[in-house]
Amino acid sequence: MSKQDFRDASLDLEARVAALLQQLTLDEKLDLCAGKSAWKTKPIPRLGIESFRVTDGPRGVAWHSSMGRHVAFPSGIALGASWSSELAYDYGVALGEQTRASGRHMVLGPAVNICRTPLNGRTFEYFTEDPWLNQALAVPVIKGIQSQRVAACIKHYAANNQESHRMKTSAELSERALREIYLPVFEAAVTQADVWSVMAAYNAVNGVPACENSDLLNDKLRSEWGFRGFVVSDWSAVRRTSSTEACVKGGLSLEMPGKGTRYKQKNLRQAYDQDKFSERELDRNLSGLLRVMVLTGHLDVAPIPLAPAAPSSKHWALARRIAAEGMVLLKNHAALLPLDTTRIRKLAVIGPKAAKRNCLPLWGGSSGVWPPYEITPLQGIKEKIADQFAGRIELVSQAEEADVVLLFVGLSHRPGLDSEVMDRKSLDLPAKQIQLIEASLAQNPNTVVVLINGGPISMEWAGPVPAILEAWYPGMEGGRAIADVLFGDINPSGKLPVSFPRRLQDSPAHQSSRTFPGDGAQVHYDEDVFIGYRHFDSREIEPLFAFGHGLSYTQFSYSDISLSSKVLRGDDVLLVKARICNVGSVAGAEVVQLYISDLECSVPRPLKELKGSSKVFLQPGQAAKVQFGIAYRDLAFYSEKNRDWLAEAGRFVVLLGSSSRDIRLEAEFDYSNK
């Protein structure tokens, strides 16, 4: 094999990796274990290998890690609320194009931690509280990114579900909860999307820091799921690990940011010379990085040129589409929305979030993207009026003189609100905003509240409010998307990817300080698998707004559920069909949700678990068939006794609904293991 075979793009991938591994000296291998600086690996000049470069995501190419202004997509929870795998794929492709156009080989995203507590400062960055929906979105995002020969880096592995004490706490949870709730998205990222990189989290899991956790990094990720990429630490996460050799043996490939501590060259060399780890263990960790360097074209004789700056107008339009599809119409009493432009003459657009931008450098932490422009809600509405209603609708500043008031409230990316490093202190809106809502209602009952925020909000004030629209952090085109929805050019189709509890103490994570935020050393996931709607169902607690809830400007009927069989045996796939009809007067999309209920089980199980969804767009009067496949794993729980997934023979129910609390059709079947 010639010295340069690792550059020969005609050779088999594994042959190229093996060739390079063979050529690297031990010291060069040790060099590749730590970054050169915050955003790139060390070069290997002797072999002409340049630094492998990374950038933060996941809402776009972050400003601080690229020193550039890039497309700012809506926050992760907006994509979560879209329930659209197609949109997730398109978003991934765009993120991959933007990353390569910024001169980087890897983007640090998607961020996929389960929303266990509504107070998590990074809820806005993540997708959902449900493990099935989480993987249904993460897999297409990763496929989209990697279709551009850019590495996705799914984060933060694992059980990093709060910001409080993130650098030193240990998430204490059962193997069943880990397997059923927190790991499925990572398992699917490997087994369905072949993710090229995984970021090990700051926290420990059951006492072992993620960056040296061999059960997570070697046993599950590599051996069980077949991961062939590399594991990178969260930035400075190795500080809390026990030793250099613990990280090598634990399976960590790369310490970031640069220079390294545990993986400082002399520390690695000393541990190696003292036989504290083997070259085989080093090669296992390192081969993943070399493999991804080949996969991204970084080692080709003529490395893949940095794409010309991706056609941003294409991405701006996508940002607007995601923002619109992610918006959730929570309440719409007397069909106040869409705005009746035949009747409305005066419109008040008020509130602290009406003219506020949310996309600024480091705003929200490492996901802060600084776009070339940002359309605020007020700008979007003014533009819409100028385009379509000039001379017919005027903007006024006082609630009492308006036909309808659009009141924009919410949170911001300040630490302590929707931001990395700190969790929120409260589920409430700021007191001043609540006063503003009450004042506006007193002056004008036709007050629409639009929320600009990143997660659940309590709403003692909501009773007299006729309409509430959840717009999340809608990205650079957010103002236009909000105007599209408010004026009815787009019919909202978003569904809540997280439950909105009435009160914080209704949330399963908020039973005591032991369950959140913990004492700094440990936080106990005592709710086990009963998180989010699973908890509300099992405890019969009425949420403020249920998981999967979202209204439309039209209505949908569900009928004709049918199963391909009354018995599911072994590895069969049971087909579930139903008919969905748009029985309203405007076109719209419905997210049909499929839940499974296990009526007889040897362990406690949630009353229902999401196992499928289908988003159908229908014209008024149009109907469509939706179809789902149910297989063994959809019925199974994780048996700690068997140390494997287990579906027990017996009666199951398929539930089809418009939300977890709005079940429209049911059908029973039996699972038989004979």
Instruction: Give the shortest CB-367-to-ligand GLC separation in angstroms.
Output: 7
The answer to whether the CB of 575 falls within 8 A of the CB of 629 is yes
Instruction: Give the shortest CB-636-to-ligand GLC separation in angstroms.
Output: 31
Of 54 and 337, which has the nearer Cβ to ligand GLC?
Answer: 54
Strands 170-172 and 204-205: parallel
Instruction: Give the shortest CB-338-to-ligand GLC separation in angstroms.
Output: 38
What single-letter amino acid sits at 205?
Answer: V
Of 234 and 325, which has the nearer Cβ to ligand GLC?
Answer: 234
Which positions ≥6 away from 642 have C-beta within 8 Å?
A: none
The answer to whether the CB of 196 falls within 8 A of the CB of 229 is yes
Torsion of CA 307, 308, 314, 315, to 10 degrees: 60
Provide the terminal-to-terminal Cα distance of the chain, rounded to the nearest Å.
53
Instruction: Give the shortest CB-38-to-ligand GLC separation in angstroms.
Output: 8
Of 119 and 232, which has the nearer Cβ to ligand GLC?
Answer: 232
Of 63 and 461, which has the nearer Cβ to ligand GLC?
Answer: 63
Instruction: Give the shortest CB-155-to-ligand GLC separation in angstroms.
Output: 5
Of 109 and 144, which has the nearer Cβ to ligand GLC?
Answer: 109
Task: Look up tokens 């409080």; give the residue.
Answer: 164
Q: Which residue is nearest to ligand GLC (CB)?
A: 366
Instruction: Give the shortest CB-421-to-ligand GLC separation in angstroms.
Output: 8
Which positions ≥6 away from 353 have C-beta within 8 Å?
A: 377, 408, 409, 410, 450, 452
Q: DSSP letters along 380-398, please?
A: HHHHHHHHH-TTT-EEES-
Instruction: Give the shortest CB-199-to-ligand GLC separation in angstroms.
Output: 7
Output the six-digit token pair for 9: 């793009």
Of 234 and 418, which has the nearer Cβ to ligand GLC?
Answer: 234
Query: Which segments within 72-228 are labelled E, that is strand?
Result: 106-108, 151-157, 170-172, 197-200, 204-205, 208-209
The answer to whether the CB of 591 falls within 8 A of the CB of 615 is yes
- Is 300 an active-site residue? no
> What is the SS3 assignment for 106?
strand
The answer to whether the CB of 486 falls within 8 A of the CB of 503 is no
Task: Look up tokens 């991804």; give the residue.
Answer: 292
Of 457, 509, 427, residue with least CA distance to 113: 509
Instruction: Give the shortest CB-184-to-ligand GLC separation in angstroms.
Output: 20
Of 419 and 593, which has the nearer Cβ to ligand GLC?
Answer: 419
> What is the SS3 assignment for 164?
coil
Of 397, 507, 491, residue with least CA distance to 161: 507
The span from the CA of 471 to the CA of 486, in Å, is: 11
What single-letter amino acid sits at 549?
Answer: H
Instruction: Give the shortest CB-536-to-ligand GLC separation in angstroms.
Output: 29
The three-point CA angle 168-173-178 to 5° equals 110
Of 407, 326, 402, residue with least CA distance to 124: 326
The span from the CA of 575 to the CA of 324, in Å, is: 32
Of 64 and 356, which has the nearer Cβ to ligand GLC?
Answer: 64
Of 247 and 399, which has the nearer Cβ to ligand GLC?
Answer: 247
Helices 478-486 and 377-388 sit at what angle, rounded to 10 degrees?
50
Strands 151-157 and 170-172: unpaired
The span from the CA of 275 to the CA of 74, in Å, is: 49
Strands 106-108 and 170-172: unpaired
Instruction: Give the shortest CB-145-to-ligand GLC separation in angstroms.
Output: 14
The span from the CA of 28 to the CA of 222, in Å, is: 24
Q: Where are the alpha helices (DSSP H) in 554-627?
A: none
The answer to whether the CB of 463 falls within 8 A of the CB of 421 is no
The answer to whether the CB of 533 falls within 8 A of the CB of 129 is yes
Binding region for ligand GLC (CB under 6 A):
56, 108, 155, 234-235, 366
Query: Which segments within 106-196 are labelled E, that is strand?
Result: 106-108, 151-157, 170-172
Instruction: Give the shortest CB-285-to-ligand GLC separation in angstroms.
Output: 20
Of 64 and 569, which has the nearer Cβ to ligand GLC?
Answer: 64
- Catalytic hit among 234, 484, 537, 598: 234
Of 169 and 366, which has the nearer Cβ to ligand GLC?
Answer: 366
Catalytic residues, by residue number, are: 234
